[in-house]
Structures are given as structure tokens and as C-alpha cells.
Amino acid sequence: MTELNLIAEQPDFLVLDKPAGISVHSEDGAGVVAQLSTLRHEPLWLVHRLDRDTSGALLLARHPAAAAALGELFATRQVAKFYLGISARRPQKKTGLVAGDMQRSRDGNWRLLREQARPALTSFVTATAGDGLRAVLMRPWTGRTHQLRVAMKALGAPLLGDTRYGGAAADRLHLHAWSLSFVWQGALQCFRAPLPEAGAFRHAVMRAQTAAWCPPEQIVMPAPSPAQKARIGADQED
């Protein structure tokens, strides 16, 4: 069984530091939700998702009422999410907003389109991460499947370890769900997952840059316009 570490424990929910390489949910009991439920001897409800190869902060409800309320916060985009990524290439821009519809290709991958009928929206800012690498702080305003990975490919800087989208080979996908913040029962809740002790996340420069970006909510980066937000539509999470 995978070692699972909690970031926070509250009466209504848990925040897990999800390891990379394990699915959030599976029918055979091998998913992270099933494993943690077994360890804690209590049922848990998944209210959002992370890709199998993405590490970081995962919110789990402890009872059905909390699951419904937290799910509504995600559905109505009242949860601020920030991710950290590393690329072996320099993005086309140091900061910006990636916006466009997403379409699945015949090979099962996703691609970003020029059309803006129901755009995926990602704000980002980049900095050096040492050893010729680039650190990326990303705020997804939508939660489409592979959205951040596709956004980085569109910027000409696919994530390190993301060979599916043209990234340089590495021991893991360098994408980490770093921060979640939302208002719960009238109080602001902020949770951050520690930087992984793996791959290029261990570089001293990357750790220093992460400290400079904390708290991420105060980092200035381009945000979607009201018109873009109005066209978002429903999300499709992995």
C-alpha cells in the first residue's frame, strides 16, 4: 500500500498530499481514495480529481453533505487552485493567459484550438528553476482533462516528464497541485502541499522560487476577461 500523508484534517473534510503515479479512484480498491478510506476506517468522498501522474493537494469529503457542498464550490469555481510545473524549455512568454477550446485527437491526446466557444483558461508565470529548467506557476480557471499539460505544450514548453505531450523524459511528470483555497463555513481555508522530494522539484533554485511565489494568491498574472469567463461552460475533469 502506498504511503499517504495528510496535509489537514477537519470534521468535514481531509486534504491529502497525493503521491504521483496513483489514481484517485479505481474499482479494484487500489485508488488513493479507497486506500485512505481503508487506513482510516471511514468512507471518504472525492469532490475533485488529479491526474494519475500529478501529485499534490487533494480534497476529500468525510460525509455526504460536505461532499455536496464542496462539490458545488468546485463546480461554481469558488476554489482557487495553483499548480507548480517544471519544463526543460523556455515558454514563449514569461507570463500570460492560455485560452482556447480543447479537442481530443484520434490518438487520445488533447489539443488546444484557436476557437473560444467554451475555452479552457490558464493563467501562468514562469521563472528559472536551475540547471536550464523553467519553473511555472499556473492557475487553472477551468478543470478540463489534461488542461495544464496541453497549455504548456501550446506555449512551446511541455512539462518535464510529459512525453505524451512532447516533454523531455524524466523520472516523473513534473506537475504538482500546490495550493487550494476556499471559504468554508464563513472562514477562508488555505492548504498547500509540500514540494515533492523527487525529480527536479528537489533543486535548490526551484525551492527558492516556490518560496518567492508564496502565497500564490498574491502573485500578479493575467486573468480571464468577464466575456471569457461567461463562455467557460461545464468542466470535464480527468
Report, as residue numbers or ranges, the catalytic residues.
Answer: 51
From CA 128, how far away is CA 136, in angstroms rounded?
9
What are the CA-CA distances from residue 38 to residues 27, 30, 90, 124, 125 (Å)?
A: 14, 10, 43, 37, 39
What are the CA-CA distances from residue 207 to residues 100, 210, 215 (Å)?
A: 31, 5, 14
From CA 54, how far away is CA 149, in angstroms rounded?
10
DSSP state of 174: -
From CA 200, how far away is CA 89, in angstroms rounded?
14
What lies within 8 Å, CB to CB, of 18 at 6+ separation is 24, 32, 50, 54, 55, 56, 57, 58, 177, 193
Contact 60, 47 (CB under 8 A): yes
Dihedrals φ, ψ of 15, to 5°?
A: -120, 115
Residue 73 bridge partners (DSSP): none
From CA 196, how far away is CA 176, in angstroms rounded?
8
